[in-house]
Chains A and B, each alone.
Chain A
Amino acid sequence: MLSPGSGNTVIKSKLISRRMFLITAAKAVVMVGLVGRLISLQINQATKYKSLSDKNRFREWKLAPERGAIKDFFNREIASNEPLYQVHLIPENAKDLDNLFVRLKAILNITDNRVSFLKRKIRKQKPWEPVIVSENLSWPDFSRLNLFLHELQGVEPIVSVARTYPDNSSAHILGYVSQISAKDLQTKEYLKELSVPGMAVGKTGLERKLDEQIIGKVGYQRYEVNAFGKRIREIKIDAGQAGKSFKTTLDYEVQKYTAELLKDKAAAVCVMDVYNGDIVSLVSSPTFEPNQFVHGLDKKYWNSLIKNEKKPLANKALSGLYPPGSTIKTLVALSALENKIVRPLDTFRCKGKIELYGEKFHCWEKEGHGIVNLRKGIQRSCDVYFYEIARKLGVDRLSETAKKFGLGKKVLSDFIEERSGVVPNTKWKKKFIGQNWYLGETLHSGIGQGYFQSTPLQLCLMTAQIANGGFEIKPRIIFDSKNDYLRDYLKFKNENPNQPLPTDLLVANFNLKPLFKNQEHINLIKDAMFSSSNEPGGTSYRHRFENPKFTFAGKTGSSQIKRFTEEQREAEVKQESLPYKDRDHALFVAFAPYKNPQYAISVLVEHGGSGGKTAAPIAKKVIKKVLERHELRVSANNLIGESV
């Protein structure tokens, strides 16, 4: 023990222990550090990491909800859903994308273009976001795919539903649906939370107007997935909620009938219930195939639509702007009567033209109409008569009446394609054109030319409001069994024929807003329209109905595209001999039956020439069809009334 060696050993042992003490102290510090890290991760940041872990674990697949149906007045579905077979691909589940596409091409008949498009799309999005390989497979293709499914990892056969339309007769008013676009997502708040791949959204017409309610609630499937994206088990499923279905006021039979009548023409027809504003029919022609839009449009078809000079995509009834032409004469006359400019029996002499400050204003009848009063003026559509009264009336008073009857503003709400048109007056011209109003322009306005612009639906509303005795109606296309004040009033009137109702009482008792100062004026106009359609010399006399059940009262119109030159006028050039693009638009508005008005109609045929020749015969046929179905419509309405 006393040897130097053992002393050495003791010193060494002490040195070792001293150094070990230092190490132990360091260990303690490190241990504390580790515990601190555990506290930080597992206590302080536990919530964050729990949600990250759930994000790992769960993956949700959204399920596109079924779109609500759109029905016609008789509950027939005019926009419904059909089963749809699709193939989706989740890129992260696929082992080898290139290989997979080769296999898919062999099974499914997809083009190289489509494959490279899909590959580009896959590169752009997250690996677990599905892409749609095939939008709409036939059943045989779909079942063949299912047969090979075990060797197609990442491919998912999907059965869903898609929009379908029985035919294209109502394509414009219904609109179409198509895949959600980036712009849709930006502009429409309600779409943000329900973005589902391949979901269709309404782009135009009713489909767009009702989109938010009709689209339904998105469902989802939540799966637990492993690190490779494989679904381990389903955690939760929410089937979502089908969208709300809507019943419209449209009559599918009339739509079909009218569409057939308008085939190959660039034309539009509106039919409206004159008492409650129910739009019975609204057809624009030529039409397009809305079913083509549901699954991604064929480029060729799209180009053919775009290039067609008759503009099949435009809803001419809502967004086509045309000078109202002579159809406005009803309002010019009414305005003149109301403003005491003219009395019904005041006469003018029509010599075929008048001159104003050196400018010639022609009547369409070169020889002139001779002595013309208000009734004859409307019956024969004498331009000179209306030049005269328009000159006295002035454009501002005319525009006031025109606006009151619904021109110059949108008739329906929430149709993005609807346009409001123009009712010109002196202020308007100053504001939008920056010039003063010329008297000559008043004359043009008096026959519905010049700056006047209106849609066929506005003209229909105008006519309906004349037909119902001059009361304001609010046109509607979504069925609503309420707000039938005007009928209540009529019923009252029939039961108490001798009781006059002052205007304020109308408002108080029936919630009606009269558009007239004196209802007698309205009746004068209606009578003049009757003569125009049913008395010899009337502009649409040739197309009258003898049967009082169908008798209508109408007003023709043709809106000039190009002014006639003096030479053409001298040569008596016929509309038919002009190039198509230069021909006048043919217009016709009417209401029927004359004795007990139920419906108002407006017909427009682009470049159809004269209203009496091309528009009136169409109106005649549609009026007959609509009136034949009137009983049915009333009984359908009553049935609903009972069930409510």
Chain B
Amino acid sequence: MLQQRSIQSSLSLRDKILSFDYILIFSILVLGIISMFAMYSTDGGEFKYHTNSHILRFFVFFGMFLVISLIQIRFWHETSYIIYFVIFLLLLGVKYFGLTSSGSQRWLNLYFMNLQPSELMKIGLILFLAKYYHRISIENINSFKHLVLPVTVLIGPVILVATQPDLGTSILIASGGIVVAWLAGVRAKFFIYSCIAMIALLPIAISFLKPYQKSRILTFLNPERDPLGAGYQIIQSKIAIGSGGLFGKGFLNGSQSYLDYLPEKHTDFIFTLFSEEFGFFGSLFILLLYALIISRIVRIGNMTRSNFGKLYCYSFATAFFIYVVVNMMMVLGLLPIVGSPLPIMSYGGSSMLSIMFGLGIVMSCKIYKDVPVN
């Protein structure tokens, strides 16, 4: 064991770079470049603020991703709890010092960027729980005593984020945590009980919903309820995607977006814009690209020997999948508009940061796949 560890830890930089998953890196780069073109289109075919800052962020965080990859997986394992608590503190900070924009308090002003800690918490929670379930023995997983901590670390940030209010992100954070617990072997019946409890609590939860959140849910159920108000986004998004047809309207020719019919086109609706301009085949290409990225992450999880690595990679892949699917279902009119960015494609520093951070740890799992974490 000792020997093994020394072999692994003495990997030269060249060895590390050679053991990168190049297909994953290539997919991320392709997606990043596509996102730049999409952003260029949202700016009306000019290099304006969104495009420039998106390009800059992509490359900065892509660099960060490479640097994180090179750091030992053991380090990430050891610092998991700390990372979670730092992010949790940032979330608390948001509550007291956060910036408020369009009615919700989500951001911390870091002067060079506005950080959205809730985005980081998506990764932080997965890290925490991956470590937690890595450490406890299989017999204890379903004991009540060992459920208290995971539930607490999950509920804490979820409530903080939900009260910002940011229902979408809090659901996504929770889903990431639940996935780890499920993978670690928590019994299905536990999830079923929680589910029943949730449904029982639903009426109370609804009473806490802000009017706009209620209206979004109602509107999702029937977009024609208010075609010029809350249903507008869903309708316009469907029109944009549908009118793209097989081959799309062509780059920079998405009339729905450049005539401003499309809301939030830089962020949540970036896929709509792309889909309008590049049609069914373009959309399919993006889907396949995401599928490729996810399958590469799962593959790394398969290779990794440590359960921490496995849990982390599988959970991250699944969470990543959920982010993509929730966003797409939302713009395709299959889910209510909850405000969730499309990983890598959407404009937004915190989202990019957290995804690249998460991917960096995945890549670190790949490089140190044979290193035990403890």
Contacts and interface: CB of A to CB of B under 8 A. Distances in A.
Q: Interface on chain A toward B: helix, strand, loop, or mixed SS?
A: helix
Given A12-B185, A42-B275, A34 B255 contact: no
Given A16-B310, A19-B185, A46 B179 contact: no
A224 B255 contact: yes
A23 B183 contact: yes
A43 B238 CA distance: 13
Interface of B: 137-138, 179, 182-185, 236, 238-246, 255-256, 259-261, 275, 279-280, 283-284, 287, 291, 294, 298, 301-302, 307, 310-311, 314, 318, 321, 325, 328-329, 332, 334
Contacts of A53: 239-240, 242-243, 255-256
Nearest to B182: A19
B261 A9 contact: no
A438 interface: no
B209 to A, nearest CB: 26
Contacts of A31: 287, 291, 325
Given A42-B244, A42-B279, A50-B245, A57 B259 contact: yes
Given A16-B307, A17-B302, A45-B242, 20 more contacts: A12-B138, A16-B184, A16-B185, A17-B310, A23-B183, A23-B314, A30-B325, A35-B287, A41-B242, A42-B241, A42-B242, A46-B242, A46-B245, A49-B239, A50-B245, A52-B242, A56-B261, A225-B259, A226-B260, A226-B261
A41 B272 CA distance: 12
B280 A42 contact: yes
A225 B258 CA distance: 10
A49 B259 contact: no
Given A42-B279, A43-B280, A37 B334 contact: yes
Interface in A205-252: 224-228, 232
A53 B137 CA distance: 58
A9 B325 contact: no
Contacts of A227: 236, 259-261
Nearest to B248: A42
Contact of A13 (B236, B239, B255, B310): B310
Nearest to A39: B280
9 contacts: A15-B184, A16-B310, A34-B332, A38-B280, A42-B279, A49-B241, A50-B242, A53-B239, A54-B243
A110 interface: no
A52 B318 CA distance: 36
Interface string A397-439: 0000000000000000000000000000000000000000000
Please name the 10 residue pairs, one residue from A and one from B, whose CB atoms are nearest each other, closest first. A49-B242, A53-B243, A227-B260, A226-B259, A46-B245, A42-B280, A49-B243, A41-B242, A50-B243, A227-B261
A17 B314 CA distance: 9
A339 interface: no
Contact of A41 (B184, B310, B325, B332): B332
A549 interface: no
Contacts of A13: 307, 310
Interface string A1-33: 000010011011101110110011001001100
Nearest to A232: B259
Given A46-B245, A49-B238, A15 B185 contact: yes
Contacts of B256: 53, 56-57
Interface string A275-294: 00000000000000000000
Interface string A103-134: 00000000000000000000000000000000
Nearest to A224: B259
A34 B329 contact: yes
A9 B136 CA distance: 10
Contacts of B182: 19, 23
A48 interface: yes
A37 B242 CA distance: 10
Given A34-B325, A34-B332, A35-B284, A8 B241 contact: no
A23 B314 CA distance: 9
A16 B138 contact: no
A50 to B, nearest CB: 4
A457 B136 CA distance: 112
Given A35-B287, A38-B280, A23 B179 contact: yes
A231 B329 CA distance: 33
Nearest to A48: B242
Contacts of A45: 242
A551 to B, nearest CB: 78
Contacts of A8: 137-138
Contacts of B310: 13, 16-17
Contacts of A54: 243
Contacts of B298: 20, 24
B262 to A, nearest CB: 8
A38 B286 CA distance: 12
Contacts of B294: 27
Interface in A40-84: 41-43, 45-46, 48-50, 52-54, 56-57
